[in-house]
A = this chain, B = another copy of it.
Amino acid sequence: MADWQEITGGVTAPRGYKAAGITAGLKPSGLPDLALIISDVEAIAAGVFTTSHVKAACVDYCRQCLQNKQSAVAILCNAGQANAATGIQGVRDADESAELLAKELNISPELILLASTGVIGQRIKMDAMRSGIPKLVAALSETGSDAAAGAIITTDLVTKSIALETIISDRPVRIGGIAKGSGMIHPNMATMLAFVTCDAAVSPHLWQQMLSRAADKSFNSITVDGDTSTNDSLIALANGQSRTPAITEMGAEAEKLEAMLTAVCQHLAKAIARDGEGATCLIEVQVTGTHDDLAARQIAKTIAGSSLVKSAIFGRDPNWGRIAAAAGRAGVPFEQDNLQVKLGNFLLLENGQPLQFDRAAASAYLKQAAADYSSNIKTQRLDNPVIIAVNVGNGHGVGKAWGCDLSYDYVKINAEYTT
């Protein structure tokens, strides 16, 4: 039983935050394309960014900011242009965006963090940015989370948002988050962005540690196509406006906060996997029996990322062989005679050998998950994923990963954006 409850409000659910999302004219489509999240007071800030060596100006900018100062007031995000592979001019555009917003908010530019998503190789449309920033600040609201969530998406089918609340030191503490996932903007790639707000008081170092661990169990455990973007960013603020005592070291309260942070990140990550390009279902892979959790996650991610497994799920084929093979190549040693594979409630493989099972019923299980997905595709519901459960031995390690199936539409979306 989780130690928290879901509440409404997204990133403005925690106290002391406002958000806004407007149409500034950055996207050719005319859809909302500029988002802002601000904290009323200077907040502790932590971030996890793309590991790619080809990265957007905003990624270098944020890394530098957080290296100098582990706090921030605002997160500014534009959609439409990724501002990656844009050289020194891209760096100047990022700097100017931060300066413009800082002036408007009357704060130091170093308290502003930046994110971009959109076409790689294109600079931010600075005219639209310049005229958009005052309007964006004017639109800030304590109920602005949905507007911000809508302005960061690209071709995502749905916005992604969550807020949870727990009790720490007898007072409510809240964490909210919004994200965007694997939408494709011609001529480029899926970018994962997530922004998290929290009203607990927590030390900068601990907050960064918590965020990094939460990212490993969530955003780093999802896969749509294995392609890491130039712009992937996860930024989390903690502003202390819950008026709870400062959490400065691990202990019961820190664990509670980290568990809730992890739950927020996992929700957003699953929402991204569920909305993967061409997906017809969400897949959750659960691995047990490894030496440690890291090894279990590694196997889970390999299975969730296997093109053969993903195609089989799209074909509604209870194909234990591909699952076993993906587990075997994950780089984690195990005795194949210990391998067990379950699909939903169907035990397909035990002691490393295939069992007789009701193949039609197992296929129907996959079809049902896809049917449920299809009827909920325009909602944020994450229930009824396809569950693949794999045990590899007697160890205590557990890990999960999430992905989606590989459909004709994935190829269509990614091939037919031809000039």
Measuring CB to CB, which residues of chain A are less than 8 angstroms from any residue of chain B?
50-55, 85-87, 119-121, 187-190, 225-230, 305-308, 311-312, 314-322, 324-330, 332-334, 336-337, 339, 349, 351-354, 359-360, 363, 406-408, 410-412, 414-419
**Residues A188 and B325 in contact in the complex (CB < 8 Å), given A227-B307, A411-B411:** yes
Interface of A is mostly: loop
> A324: which B residues are within 8 A, CB to CB?
54, 85, 120, 230
- The distance in angstroms between the C-alpha atoms of A316 and B54, with both chains bound, is 23
Q: Is A363 a contact of B321 with CB atoms below 8 Å?
A: no
CB atoms of B354 and A121 under 8 A apart: yes
Expressed in whole angstroms, the minimum distance between the Cβ of A273 and any Cβ of chain B is 15
> This chain: how many copies in the complex?
2
Whether A354 contacts B85 in the complex (CB less than 8 A), given A54-B325, A319-B187, A414-B307, comes out as yes
CA distance A189 to B188 in the complex (A): 31
Q: Which B residues are in CB contact (< 8 Å) with A332?
A: 53
Q: Could you say which residues of chain B place their CB within 8 Å of the CB of A363?
A: 418-419
Flag if B87 contacts A308 (CB, 8 Å): no
Contact A314 B230, beta carbon cutoff 8 Å = no
Contacts of A189 on B, CB cut-off 8 Å?
308, 321-322, 325
List 22 A-B pairs, Cβ < 8 Å: A53-B327, A53-B332, A54-B328, A85-B321, A85-B324, A85-B349, A188-B321, A188-B322, A189-B308, A190-B308, A225-B308, A226-B305, A228-B328, A228-B329, A307-B307, A312-B414, A312-B415, A315-B415, A317-B419, A363-B418, A406-B415, A407-B415
* Given contact pairs A306-B227, A328-B54, A352 touches B311 in the complex (Cβ within 8 A): no
Count chain B CB atoms within 10 A of each CB in A227, A311, A411 and give the residue with the most: A411
**Distance A70 CA – B130 CA, assembled complex (angstroms):** 72
